[in-house]
Amino acid sequence: MTEAGETVVRLEGLTKRFGEGDTSILALDDVSFEVRRGEIVALLGLSGSGKSTLLQHIDGLQTATSGGGTVLGTDLAAAGPAELRRLRRRIGFVFQQFHLVGRLTVLENVCQGALGSLRGPRLGLFTYPKAVRERALEGLERVGLADWAFQRADTLSGGQQQRVAVARALMQEPGLLLADEPVASLDPESSGQVMRLLKDIGQQRGLTVLCSLHQVDLALSWADRIVGLRAGRVVLDVPTHGLGRDDIMRLYTDLEEEVVLPASDAVDADAAGAKASDGDEAPTGVSLEEAGRR
């Protein structure tokens, strides 16, 4: 059982180089940061800055070139394939393209989220234990789609399919929820619904959520904290409280220097999610301008 304030992700000098020699790509360059239980973190950066690669490492899907860290207490560098599989069962992952099985019912898609904890394959909804089906239905109620349980998944809109994918991820009872551009292909209204859902569920369950996004305004209104990547390096790590759009836009334009505030001090994990949305107080610690000049 995790304790409030406990470190869920601790990355230390995580470096990933794809390929070798002149044509190799440094996708992650000495990435170090921590995420504590209950934090809602948005990962921002230009296309190709390393967001997906970083999420894949945290999920134990990629092997680092050097450095590493711990996720839910598992040492990424030391863990063997079986331990990494066990880790992945404790991490929910929501993708841009939903990855539902279109010809199956919505409910069966959600039940599939429990496959990691069941022995053997399942063919058909009624081959899942009743307790699993009931939990899946509760999950669908939670995301507002219980009425759609017996529809084919491919008859739902994109926003609805992503909410099903969230319900499926929750079937794992994850200790950490990762999302890679979960609203990139959705209209603004559906995007807002999905992000609100991720945040509400995170707050209700004290779940840690780390989500890559391209929408700066959404990240500002949604996250407790923003981690910004540029060419594989963390160049921004700030609580969102009091930040403006222009502060973040520097990540995409002129921000070369590292701007790292001690997020562990700035975000009280016990109060994660209790961020005031109406205050205009500047973030504690070093201002972006000061830090950028260092």
Ligand X SMILES: Nc1ncnc2c1ncn2[C@@H]1O[C@H](COP(=O)(O)OP(=O)(O)OP(=O)(O)O)[C@@H](O)[C@H]1O
Q: Is 27 in the site for ligand X (CB under 6 A)?
A: yes
Tell whether residue 23 is a contact of ligand X (CB under 6 A): no
Decide whether 54 or 269 has the Cβ nearer to ligand X.
54
Residues facing residue 152 across a β-bridge: 105
Residue 51 touches ligand X, criterion: CB under 6 A:
yes
Tell whether residue 49 is a contact of ligand X (CB under 6 A).
yes
Distance CA 60, CA 83 (A): 9
Alpha-carbon span 213 to 217, nearest angstrom: 10
Q: Which of 48, 102, 144, 262 binds ligand X (CB under 6 A)?
A: 48
The residue (of 50 and 92) whose beta carbon lies closer to ligand X is 50
Asked if 18 contacts 52 with a C-beta cutoff of 8 angstroms, the reply is no
Q: What is the C-alpha to C-alpha distance for residues 102 and 106, in angstroms, rounded to an integer?
A: 8
Q: Which is nearer to ligand X, 23 or 277 (CB)?
A: 23
CB neighbourhood size of 258 (10 A) = 15
18 near ligand X, rule: CB under 6 A: yes
- Among 38, 45, 60, 67, the residue binding ligand X under the rule CB under 6 A is 45
Question: Do 175 and 72 form a contact (C-beta atoms < 8 A)?
Answer: yes
The number of CA neighbours under 13 Å toward the Cβ of 178 is 24
Q: Least CB distance from residue 266 to ligand X, whole Å?
A: 24
When binding is defined by CB under 6 A, the residue of 1, 21, 22, 47 that contacts ligand X is 47
Give whichever of 133 and 230 is closer to ligand X, judged by the CB atom.
230
| Residues that contact ligand X, how many (by CB under 6 A) | 11
For ligand X, which is the closer residue by CB, 53 or 190? 53
Give the shortest CB-16-to-ligand X separation in angstroms: 8
CB of 182 to ligand X, least distance (A): 12
186 binds ligand X (CB under 6 A): no
Quote the distance between the C-alpha of residue 241 and its chain's center.
Answer: 19
Round to whole Å and give the CA distance between 83 and 33: 22
Distance CA 265, CA 238 (A): 11
Binder among 29, 31, 44, 53 for ligand X (CB under 6 A): 53
The SS3 of residue 288 is: helix
Q: Which DSSP string corresponds to 147-181?
A: GGTTSBGGGS-HHHHHHHHHHHHHTT--SEEEEES
Longest pairwise C-alpha distance within the chain: 62
Report, in Å, the least distance between residue 260 CB and ligand X.
19
Shortest Cβ distance from residue 76 to ligand X (Å)? Answer: 16
State yes or no: residue 52 binds ligand X (CB under 6 A): yes
Query: Count of CB atoms within 10 A of residue 68's CB?
Result: 19
**Among positions 25, 61, 271, 274, the unique one binding ligand X when judged by CB under 6 A:** 25
Residue 24 lies near ligand X (rule: CB under 6 A): no
Give the whole-angstrom CA distance, residue 206 versus residue 270. 9
Interface residues with ligand X (CB under 6 A)? 18, 25, 27, 45, 47-53
